[in-house]
A and B are shown apart, each in its own frame.
Chain A
Amino acid sequence: KAGVTQTPRYLIKTRGQQVTLSCSPISGHRSVSWYQQTPGQGLQFLFEYFSETQRNKGNFPGRFSGRQFSNSRSEMNVSTLELGDSALYLCASSLEGAVGYNEQFFGPGTRLTVL
């Protein structure tokens, strides 16, 4: 079974630009979550999608948005990039994302550098 895939793996952008990152979950997984990882803040939850609906959102500004397609693939978009958006963006998928516990499987991440 293929794991979670993320594209691109590396990205360099300049301030003010926007970026779209893509995530393909494990086949059969319907929940996709996005995280931002930085050395200073660690792993922080961005948002979670299930069946094309955003179910939960972390404390990030509106410049960060996402969506999920009918095949469970997900994209996240960051507009008006700032230097502080430089980070590793991780996508994780799980079967249902059910309350109780949520066994997630992570992709390798997209390393975004904002110059």
Chain B
Amino acid sequence: TQLLEQSPQFLSIQEGENLTVYCNSSSVFSSLQWYRQEPGEGPVLLVTVVTGGEVKKLKRLTFQFGDARKDSSLHITAAQPGDTGLYLCAEGGGFKTIFGAGTRLFVKA
């Protein structure tokens, strides 16, 4: 069974700071998604990466997929309070999705 490890588990930073969160797998990803979940809501898909070495940008968020497709990172530039939430990575092949435990981010104004 594939395991996804996310780090750090918790992150509390000041508005304007940069941060990176990581997602590592025990085996090769077929594809990887990043989601953000706010309290009381379901996760919202941010991006899907499929190709090793792929880099995708979404405004201040940069997603990178490792060359070997066993790791991924999410970098946020100049974090804002609206970025606060639970960031989840997920591997989505084979008719089911396996989620990591998530990184809980809190951005203080």
Contacts and interface: CB of A to CB of B under 8 A. Distances in A.
Interface of A: 4, 31, 33, 35, 42-45, 48, 50, 55-56, 58, 90, 92, 97, 99-109, 111
Contact of B95 (A43, A48, A106): A48
Contacts of B45: 103-105
B102 A101 contact: no
Contacts of B40: 108-109, 111
B18 interface: no
A104 B99 contact: no
8 contacts: A42-B101, A43-B43, A43-B90, A45-B96, A50-B95, A56-B94, A92-B42, A111-B40
Contacts of B48: 101, 103
Contact of B41 (A44, A99, A102, A108): A108
**Mostly helix, strand, loop or mixed at chain B's interface?**
loop
Contacts of A35: 99
Nearest to A98: B95
A39 to B, nearest CB: 10
